[in-house]
Amino acid sequence: MPKSKKVAVVVPWHGYGRNILLGVSRFVHEHPGWVLHLIQSDSPVLEKDIRQWNPDGIISGLLDTDLGPSDYHYKRPWVSVLVQPDDPDALFVTLDEDAVGRMAAEYFIDRRFVHFGFLGNSEQEFSCQRAEAFEYALAEQGFECSILLYPTKVHNVDKRKREGIDRRKAKW
């Protein structure tokens, strides 16, 4: 009997990470011989856990760890999901953010909307890319778009700045 292939999946268990887990799980159910080890991406013992389990490969949405695609101590296949690594040789899978923005614009235009706005996160590159593509696709069809990009990580921001962000959103 062939040896099972062990793959560590290191993604958040909420938001987009949940969909990655569903997709990988579906693959494993359709392809016997694969064993998954799910690791919460913010686990305090992440690196220790991966090294102890010693998977044949890693699917990860992380890059801010010492244990990454370029870690010379860990010679295993490593695929980054939704985050493009700095290393041009690293494997990654991501979304076409421009296509997402264009498709959103087309969706609303097809339903005869005439007023458009985009509310997004200024701290996330994907959000900025989608906003730009959304606005561009609308402009090509002769429409204008109001865009508000603001920081969403405000737990460390003083009360006055948070209230200013809230006022900008309400005014928008």
110: containing domain: 97-171
Q: How many CB atoms lie within 10 A of CB 125?
A: 12
**How many other C-beta atoms can be found within 10 angstroms of the C-beta atom of residue 114?**
8
Last residue of a domain, one of 74, 93, 112: 93
Model confidence pLDDT, tens digit, residues 113-171: 999 999 999 988 889 999 999 999 999 999 999 999 988 776 677 778 778 888 888 88
Categorize the per-residue pLDDT at 86 as very low, low, confident or very high, splitting at 50, 70 and 90.
Answer: confident
Which of 68, 93, 118 is at the close of a domain? 93
Which of 42, 61, 93 is a domain's end point? 93
3-class DSSP state for residue 17? helix
Q: pLDDT per residue over 123-139, tens digit each?
A: 888 899 999 999 999 99
Given pLDDT bands bounded at 50, 70 and 90, which one contains residue 68? low
Same domain, 114 and 142: yes
Cβ burial of 138 (10 Å; 0-12, 13-18, 19+) is: buried
